[in-house]
């Protein structure tokens, strides 16, 4: 069984974390989102994977190489991000017969993928959609299902009809490619949803199967916290200290590690430090003596200084949080572009290589761009652009 993984997008709403890498490489716990996607595909029995890459594609290819767990990876490039349908078209030459299509920036449990494969094998449909029961589908895609047949698929539905949640897992026959080409582009983009509606308009059989299983997506930076925590809760990550503290990590005998937790290789946790619960330390991260890290995703090569307090925090790569700095946790109001999101559980977001020089205080909801320098004793609030210097 082959699969096509759509991983060409940037994830602009996750800036500044996607300044230097695409959304599929952002960490879910301590592992790139795309790696979790591959794991679930393999668990469902997929044996060949085509990856559609685009934004920062070299980062993806360098990270994974030509195989993943002995399964061959074929890369095709979407030079311009012109929609999910356009992305699938770039992979047409690699598809021969039935294929599974999933998004490379959303983690869907293998049971959902397996259910779609089984349902597709049992019918003569051109397309089979993986669906979930969700109370609110208004922010995503809704599907009207009648005795297993899809009668309508709507993006961001606002009416009161009973919709199933579109999990973004599809089994397609090759006819989907002609449907993508036939569908009228909207705002210059070719959408998979429009292609499925084209199939429906042509009276082609489109089926849906309702599953139970984890589905998580990070739309905004603070969502990376929820994604990681849901992986713990669903059991896709074992958060026990015995299972998920790497052998090469150094944990001082007086440190306290509270489950669930993930501590990646080559981390260091100093004397009297408290890490967890719901703490994820990326490779080569350091937590100095008497520091506290809780409900946070700390990316690789990041340093948390002595006696610092870090709660509800997401960092990029190579950030430095100085001695005695306080990130007290959310809720806070977060600005993304021209929108304000109120009462989000984000203590702070620190971009790649932020240099906090110690004794600083972060107002909940602070978003700090890459390469920002925060002088000792400063108070940080709001959104700071790349390269800013914050003086005390």
Give the range among 84-93, 152-161, 258-267, 348-357 with minimum mean pLDDT. 152-161
Kindly state the greatest CA–CA separation across the chain: 67
- For the chain, what is the mean pLDDT? 92
Residue 224 DSSP SS3: helix
pLDDT in tens, 336-374: 878 888 998 999 999 999 999 999 999 999 999 999 999
**What per-residue confidence (pLDDT) applies to 12?**
84
If you average pLDDT over residues 209-233, what whole number do you get? 91
Nearest to 7 by CA among 239, 195, 18, 351: 18
What proportion of the chain, given as a percentage, has pLDDT over 70?
A: 100
From 369, 392, 370, 365, select the one nearest 381 (Cα to Cα).
365
Task: Write down the pLDDT at residue 81.
Answer: 84
Are 240 and 352 found together in one domain?
yes
Whether pLDDT at 330 is above 90: no
Evaluate whether 192 touches 200 at the Cβ level (below 8 Å).
Answer: no
The beta strands (E) that lie in 10-70 are given as 27-28, 31-32, 48-53, 67-68
pLDDT at position 123: 77
pTM of the model: 0.92
Q: What is the mean pLDDT of residues 277-298?
A: 97
Residue 135 has pLDDT above 80, yes or no: no
Sorted by sequence, the CB contacts under 8 Å of residue 294 that are 6+ apart come out as 258, 274, 275, 276, 277, 278, 279, 310, 311, 312, 329
CATH number, domain of 251, equals 2.160.10.10
Tokens in use for 48?
């060949």
Between the alpha carbon of residue 76 and those of residues 1, 9, 241, the distances in Å are: 18, 13, 39
Answer yes or no: do 149 and 249 share one domain. Answer: no
Same domain, 287 and 301: yes
Determine the pLDDT at residue 236.
87
CATH number at residue 96: 3.90.550.10
Same domain, 66 and 189: yes
Report d(CA 278, CA 264) in Å as an integer.
14
H/E stretch holding 63: helix 57-64
The per-residue pLDDT for 175 is: 92
Q: Give the range among 130-144, 197-211, 240-254, 307-321 with minimum mean pLDDT.
A: 130-144
| Per-residue pLDDT at 242 | 81
Distance linking the first and last C-alpha atoms of the chain: 58
Q: Which of 153, 184, 217 is the last residue in one of the domains?
A: 217
Confidence grade of residue 207 (pLDDT, cut at 50, 70, 90): very high
Up-side HSE of residue 189: CA atoms within 13 Å toward CB?
A: 12
Domain match, 205 and 227 both: no
Taken in order 212, 245, 321, 353, the sign of the CA dihedral is: negative
pLDDT for 284 beyond 90 = yes
Specify the pLDDT at position 298: 97
Number of domains in the chain: 2
Which domain-ending residue is among 161, 196, 217?
217
pLDDT value at residue 261: 95
The answer to whether the beta carbons of residues 100 and 1 sit under 8 Å apart is yes
Indicate if 335 and 365 belong to the same structural domain.
yes
173 with 69, same domain: the answer is: yes
Q: What is the pLDDT of residue 364?
A: 95
Distance separating alpha carbons of residues 335 and 129, to the nearest angstrom: 35
pLDDT at 102: 96
Answer yes or no: do 296 and 357 share one domain. yes
- Checking if the pLDDT of 76 tops 80, the result is yes
Question: Are residue 166 and residue 248 in the same domain, yes or no?
Answer: no
Instruction: Write down which residue in 196, 217, 238 finishes a domain.
Output: 217
- pLDDT band (50, 70, 90) for residue 88: very high
322 plus 353 within the same structural domain: yes
C-alpha dihedral, 122 to 125 to 127 to 131, nearest 10°:
-50
- Using the predicted structure, report yes or no on whether residue 73 has a pLDDT greater than 90: yes
Unique residue bearing structure tokens 């449907």: 179
Position 253 scores a pLDDT of: 96
Residue range of the domain that includes 234 = 223-390
From CA 12, how far away is CA 344, in angstroms rounded? 19
Degrees to nearest 5, angle at CA 259 with 253 and 261: 90
Whether the CB-CB separation of 349 and 313 falls below 8 Å is answered with: yes
| Same domain membership, residue 354 and residue 333 | yes
Q: How confident is the model at residue 160 (pLDDT cuts 50, 70, 90)?
A: confident
Say what the alpha-carbon torsion angle 128, 204, 163, 147 is, to the nearest 10 degrees.
-80
One domain, residues 186 and 227:
no
């Amino acid at each position: 069984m082959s699969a096509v993984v759509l991983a060409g997008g940037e994830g602009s709403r996750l800036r500044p974390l996607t300044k230097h890498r695409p959304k599929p490489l952002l960490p879910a716990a301590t592992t790139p989102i795309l790696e979790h996607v591959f794991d679930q595909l393999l668990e469902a029995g997929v044996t060949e994977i085509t990856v559609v890459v685009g934004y920062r594609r070299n980062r993806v290819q360098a990270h994974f190489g030509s195989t993943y767990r002995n399964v061959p990876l074929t890369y095709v490039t979407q030079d311009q991000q012109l929609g999910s349908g356009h992305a699938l078209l770039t992979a047409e030459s690699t598809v021969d017969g039935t294929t599974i299509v999933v998004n490379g920036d959303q983690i869907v449990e293998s049971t959902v993928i397996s259910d779609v494969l089984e349902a597709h094998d049992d019918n003569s449909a051109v397309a089979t959609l993986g669906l979930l029961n969700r109370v609110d589908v208004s922010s995503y895609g809704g599907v009207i299902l009648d005795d297993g047949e899809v009668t309508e698929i709507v993006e961001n539905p606002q009416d009161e009809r009973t919709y199933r949640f579109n999990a973004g897992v599809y089994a397609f026959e090759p006819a989907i490619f002609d449907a993508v080409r036939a569908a009228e582009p909207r705002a210059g983009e070719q959408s998979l949803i429009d292609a499925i509606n084209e199939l429906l308009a042509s009276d082609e059989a489109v089926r849906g199967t309702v599953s139970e299983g984890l589905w998580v997506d990070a739309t905004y930076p603070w969502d990376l916290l929820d994604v990681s925590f849901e992986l713990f809760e669903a059991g896709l990550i074992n958060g026990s200290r015995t299972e998920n503290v790497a052998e090469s990590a150094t944990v001082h005998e007086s440190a306290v590690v509270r489950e669930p937790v993930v501590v990646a290789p080559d981390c260091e946790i100093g004397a009297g430090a408290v890490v967890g619960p719901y703490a994820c330390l990326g490779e080569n991260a350091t937590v100095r003596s008497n520091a506290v890290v809780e409900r946070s995703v700390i990316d690789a090569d990041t340093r948390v200084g002595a006696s610092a307090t870090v709660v509800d925090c997401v960092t990029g790569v190579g950030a430095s949080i100085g001695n005695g700095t306080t990130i007290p946790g959310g809720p806070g109001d977060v600005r993304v572009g021209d929108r304000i999101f109120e009462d989000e559980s984000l203590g702070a977001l620190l971009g790649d290589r932020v240099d906090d020089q110690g004794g600083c205080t972060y107002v909940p909801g602070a978003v700090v761009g890459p390469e920002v320098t925060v002088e000792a004793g400063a108070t940080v609030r709001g959104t700071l652009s790349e390269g800013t210097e914050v003086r005390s």
